[in-house]
Structure 1
Amino acid sequence: METQLTTSILAIMYFGDVVFAISGALTAARYKMDFLGFVLIGTITGIGGGTTRDLLLGRTVWWTQDPLELILCIVFSLITYFWITTDITRKKAMIWSDTLGLAAFSVVGCHIALAFGAPFIIAVFMGMVTATGGGVIRDVITNQTPMIMRGQLYASAALLGSLSYATLMYFELTEIHAEIIALLLALSLRTLAVVYDIQMGPPGEFLRIGKKESK
């Protein structure tokens, strides 16, 4: 492969694959899909963002050369299929698995773009694309409004993670420390948004806190 990834980045990437595949499979549960539906939605969620990034960069799509990502997504989608017991379990697990995947892929996407030789601003954007792309594809396929279009601090959290990582690497912080700090920043912002229901408001109302819509 043209870009060799470090052990730590591979670990974060595979972790992101797993948790995003789980979030996709849990979305499939909402529509009472069969096990193949779980595998399809889970796998698309897990590898969709990275695939989009690689295609935009003109880079070989990673999982077509190393199928471990694909295998992990399939396996954990099937595990989720047999694990689900209640709607409450599904809803909570979906939110937090998606949050973890978002933080992980914001760092991974930015790292891969930088290693591929992309300029600073492109690498930051690719980090955000990697973190949000799979979720967008998942939501479109399942006929939901994508998270990035719901006023959620979603793409913002991904942007914070990728921008932090690129900035820390620019100032030559050690890679492992840059990864940890950037991942924690993205995770913290997204967690605060989920816990306190922080949303981006319309023009004239920048932030809204604790104003959930009735469902």
Structure 2
Amino acid sequence: MTQWLHWIDLMGVAVFAVSGTLMAFRKHMDGFGVIVLASVTAIGGGTLRDMILDLPVFWVHSTDFLYTILAAAVITIIWLRVTHKFPYQTLLIADAMGLAFFNVMGLQKALNYGADPLIAIVMGTMTGAFGGLIRDVICRDIPLVLKGELYATTCIFGSLVYLAIFWGWDNSSLAMLGAVIGTLSLRVTAIYRHWQLPLFQGLH
């Protein structure tokens, strides 16, 4: 089970690193900027989660995560060099996949260390959304999580799916799979159907 969780964590890091690299390409950053943006996108949320839970920061004790970020960034750069175009839709899908994987990993890790289910939902949402928030702030974009997009909301939905399955069948593997599918499905559907939360317009 532990090894399986490690591979899911690596997949989340990889797709978020791809997301960060694509955004760096869109913003015409240099090589250092690419690595910085790929890294903060991939490990920013998990770092904050571990610090709040007073746990060892996950990537400090395993170089696998840093090598994964580097490999994902290099592969994405090569692909962009070959295609010579920026696939914005691919950025959104990569971000959605990272969101789904990291939401579930954050939730599961918090539960493993005895957190209350409500706190675990917050940790899962933070793990999934905070890396993208840092990425967008660095790029001077309004973060997706703050623009009315169904973003953090999809993490909460996925977390509720996890808890419902786990409490119903007492199977964490099935619950994690259901939560990943639930989070990803809702986020991708929201992307293609342009679902949004009501925006605060203010008075004119």
| Shared fold, TM over 0.5 | yes
User: Is 2:150 aligned against 1:153?
Assistant: yes
Root-mean-square deviation over aligned CA pairs:
1.6
Note the C-alpha offset of 1:202. 2.8
Give the corresponding residue for 1:74. 70
Tell me the distance in 1 between the aligned counterparts of 2:109 and 2:167: 14
Gap regions ≥5 residues in structure 2: none
Task: Write out aligned runs for 1:52-71 (5 A).
Answer: 52-71=48-67
Give the corresponding residue for 2:85. 87
Alignment check: 8 A CA contact 1:38 1:78 kept: no
Tell me the distance in 1 between the aligned counterparts of 2:107 and 2:113: 10
Alignment check: 8 A CA contact 2:26 2:86 kept: no
Amino-acid identity (%): 35
Gap regions ≥5 residues in structure 1: 205-215
Tell me the distance in 1 between the aligned counterparts of 2:200 and 2:138: 29
Alignment check: 8 A CA contact 2:45 2:129 kept: yes
Which residue of the other structure, out of 39, 46, 49, is the alignment partner of 1:43? Answer: 39
Tell me the distance in 2 between the aligned counterparts of 1:95 and 1:203: 24
Alignment check: 8 A CA contact 1:47 1:70 kept: no
Alignment check: 8 A CA contact 1:127 1:158 kept: yes
Note the C-alpha offset of 1:69. 1.0
Change (3 A) 1:30 1:88: closer
Give me the TM-score of the superposition, normalised by structure 1.
Answer: 0.87
Give the corresponding residue for 2:7. 11
Counterpart AA for 1:86:
H
Alignment check: 8 A CA contact 2:44 2:130 kept: yes
Give me the TM-score of the superposition, normalised by structure 2.
Answer: 0.92
Alignment check: 8 A CA contact 1:35 1:81 kept: no
Query: How many residue pairs align between the two structures?
Result: 199
Alignment check: 8 A CA contact 1:19 1:98 kept: yes
- Structure 1 stretches (4+) deviating beyond 6 angstroms? none
Task: Write out aligned runs for 1:130-209 (5 A).
Answer: 130-202=127-199
Tell me the distance in 2 between the aligned counterparts of 1:153 and 1:63: 28
